[in-house]
């Protein structure tokens, strides 16, 4: 097996994309693509780094012998879950924003529901407060609690989303520095 096929095999065995390998090696994705299609061979430094990443030796990378075992597919569901996890890891900020939007929605729903589930109403002509429904029963208490739960969940989602977005921003900002 030539080195191009071996790099592809080892990368897939590790469950890495070309972008992920390129990021680790601090080269472009196009460079990884050229190595894998055989148009360019990695230099000595990159061979050393590839051997570290793939936990092998340079001799094994350069040998014509095939690797000992073939890459295994886990199954469709596991592959989808793995890919989803990789996408989420790569896009924490976007996931954070989505969570923030859900939090804002839950918060607004909770506030609107709490305004609507007022156990009393005010007579617009006399200004007197008139009891509206029976909020002393189990159902009434559950409806009184529901808006508070949505408000709490909304605030929690906004905080978690903000943390994820800030964490991703700082991670990416730190890489650029």
Q: In terms of pLDDT, which residue wins out, 119 or 13? A: 13
Residue 136: predicted pLDDT: 55
- State whether CATH 1.10.260.40 applies to domain 3-75: yes
Residue 119: predicted pLDDT: 60
Proportion of the chain above pLDDT 70, given as a percent: 75
pLDDT at 36 over 50: yes
Q: What residue segments make up the domains of the chain, in order of their start?
A: 3-75, 91-176
d(CA 123, CA 104): 32
Answering whether pTM is above 0.85, one says no
Place of tokens 């900020």: 93
Residue 30: predicted pLDDT: 93
pLDDT digits (tens, 9 = 90+) for 91-132: 777 888 899 999 999 999 988 887 776 666 666 778 777 665
pLDDT digits (tens, 9 = 90+) for 19-33: 999 999 999 999 999
pLDDT digits (tens, 9 = 90+) for 138-164: 555 666 788 889 999 999 999 998 988
Backbone angles phi, psi at 11, to 5 degrees: -65, -45
Neighbours of 99 (CB within 10 A): 20
Q: In terms of pLDDT, which residue wins out, 12 or 144? A: 12
For residue 85, how far is the Cα from the chain centroid?
6
Q: In terms of pLDDT, which residue wins out, 71 or 94? A: 94
């Amino acid at each position: 097996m030539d080195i191009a096929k071996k790099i592809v095999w080892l990368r897939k065995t590790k469950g890495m994309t070309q972008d992920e390998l390129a990021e680790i090696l601090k080269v472009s994705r196009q460079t990884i693509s050229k190595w894998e299609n055989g148009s360019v061979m990695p230099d000595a430094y990159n061979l050393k780094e590839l051997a570290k990443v793939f936990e092998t030796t340079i001799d094994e990378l350069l040998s014509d012998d095939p690797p000992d075992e073939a890459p295994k597919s886990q199954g469709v569901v596991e592959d989808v879950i793995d890919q989803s996890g990789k996408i989420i890891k790569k896009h924490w900020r976007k996931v954070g924003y989505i969570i923030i939007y859900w939090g804002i929605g839950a918060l607004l729903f909770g506030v609107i529901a709490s305004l609507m589930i007022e156990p009393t109403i005010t007579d617009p002509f006399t200004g007197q407060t008139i009891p509206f429904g029976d909020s002393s029963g189990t159902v009434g208490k559950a409806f009184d609690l529901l808006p508070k739960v949505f408000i709490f969940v909304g605030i929690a989602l906004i905080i978690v989303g903000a943390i994820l977005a800030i964490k991703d921003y700082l991670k990416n900002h730190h890489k650029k520095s």
